[in-house]
Amino acid sequence: MTTSDASASSHEFVSHHSAVDESEFALTVGFPRDPADEDSLDGLILQRGRDPQEDVRGIQGVYVEIPIQRHVAHGGITEAMLGRDRFILRFDEATAHKMGSLREILVHFDLPEDDFHVIRDGLRFVFTGCSCYREEHGNAG
């Protein structure tokens, strides 16, 4: 489901094992690819440092990766929107170039309510101080 127009390319996939990992140093929200498909772009990692002394404020503190370090960037996100069954990430032109010419990534998922709240809370942390992050109506609970 990848579009081929380089100026507006997007990638869409289904994440079956979305999760949050918290370490002493960072909080990571992962929408992983199928581990059996090493060549797939179907994965997305978002991360923010936990140490306020080390963290870069705002959007530049958000690390984005298409695993396994195939494409990486800090910041450059113009929109991040969480819905009950999807997450959309859009990049500025410079970041899209770093991310393999992808301007947009759309992740679909089907999570139980408790797991969705974990993902939502993780994304709220990752996007601390970022005006580009929003949640579709009904996700505030």
Tell me the per-residue pLDDT of 90-139, one tens digit each, with 9 for 90 and over. Answer: 999 999 999 999 999 999 999 999 999 999 999 999 999 999 999 997 65
Q: Check pLDDT > 60 for residue 2.
A: no
Give the CA-trace dihedral at 58, 135, 107, 45, to 10 degrees.
30
Q: Is residue 11 part of a domain?
A: yes
In a domain, 24, yes or no: yes
Output the pLDDT for position 16.
Answer: 85
* pLDDT score, position 17: 87
Question: pLDDT at residue 6 above 80?
Answer: no
| Residue 48 resides in a domain | yes
- Structural domain boundaries enclosing 94: 6-135
In a domain, 97, yes or no: yes
Q: How many domains does the chain have?
A: 1
Asked, for residue 140, whether it belongs to a domain, the answer is: no
Q: Where are the alpha helices (DSSP H) in the chain?
A: 93-98, 113-126
> Is 120 within a domain?
yes
**Residue 1 in domain:** no
Percent of the chain with pLDDT over 90: 67
What pLDDT is stored for residue 86 in this prediction? Answer: 97
Buried b (16+ CB within 10 A) or exposed e, 23-34: eeebbbbbbebe
Position 15 in a domain: yes
What's the pLDDT at 8? 55
